[in-house]
Chain A
Amino acid sequence: SQQGEEDPQALSIQEGENATMNCSYKTSINNLQWYRQNSGRGLVHLILIRSNEREKHSGRLRVTLDTSKKSSSLLITASRAADTASYFCATDLSGGGADGLTFGKGTHLIIQP
């Protein structure tokens, strides 16, 4: 079963606007990660947030984690056309990812020029 579920399934915004995607999960985690996938390509790791962290930044990306609500959000600020992609959250139960990450179904983000 899917551990993480992203919301919304699809999102279309104008270039320059901010994009927010959410992820909910079911069981306790060691860390949560966000990945980007361009159409027909492999996934690219964006950011990792550990269970004892509440917020993390990387460039135009801001990730929050609320372990009490079992949810995370990914904010992309000042969006660009190149941000058009699918975004996946992945939960790591054991830490180190050694037993495999569990991925959600993703949010498909379209940035309109």
Chain B
Amino acid sequence: DGGITQSPKYLFRKEGQNVTLSCEQNLNHDAMYWYRQDPGQGLRLIYYSQIVNDFQKGDIAEGYSVSREKKESFPLTVTSAQKNPTAFYLCASSTLDRGYYGYTFGSGTRLTVV
């Protein structure tokens, strides 16, 4: 079955550490997105990519970095520069052709700073 996989499901980070969240899709989607969700809040866009080797900043990119070396993969690194990284992180993908129907989301990674 096609889908989008995020790992790990839970992640604990010490102060000052960088951590990388994985996002892989086998839907052959062109575009991929990273969102952050805080309790009781909506989703805020961190980064997005429409094509391999290219990506754009979203509304809250500071303290985060991404890469898009393969169409299937869009990992997110939460750097030590991110002041408040504890949150639920969601990855999504979509087609960019005429069959566009909305986003497919992964099941999320919950990051906690300890």
A residues lining the B interface (CB < 8 Å): 2, 4, 33, 35, 40-45, 48, 88, 95-106
Chain B contact residues, majority secondary structure: strand
A residues less than 8 Å from B104 (CB atoms): 45
Of chain A, the residue at the smallest CB distance from B44 is A103
Question: Are A100's CB and B96's CB within 8 A?
Answer: no
Number of cross-chain contacts by CB at 8 Å: 65
B residues lining the A interface (CB < 8 Å): 6, 31, 33, 35, 40-45, 48, 50, 56, 58, 88, 90, 92, 94, 96, 100-108, 110
7 A-B pairs besides A43-B105, A106-B42 with CB distance below 8 A are: A40-B110, A41-B108, A45-B101, A45-B103, A95-B100, A97-B100, A105-B40
Candidates A33, A43, A100, A106; contact of B48 at CB < 8 Å: A100
A residues less than 8 Å from B44 (CB atoms): 103
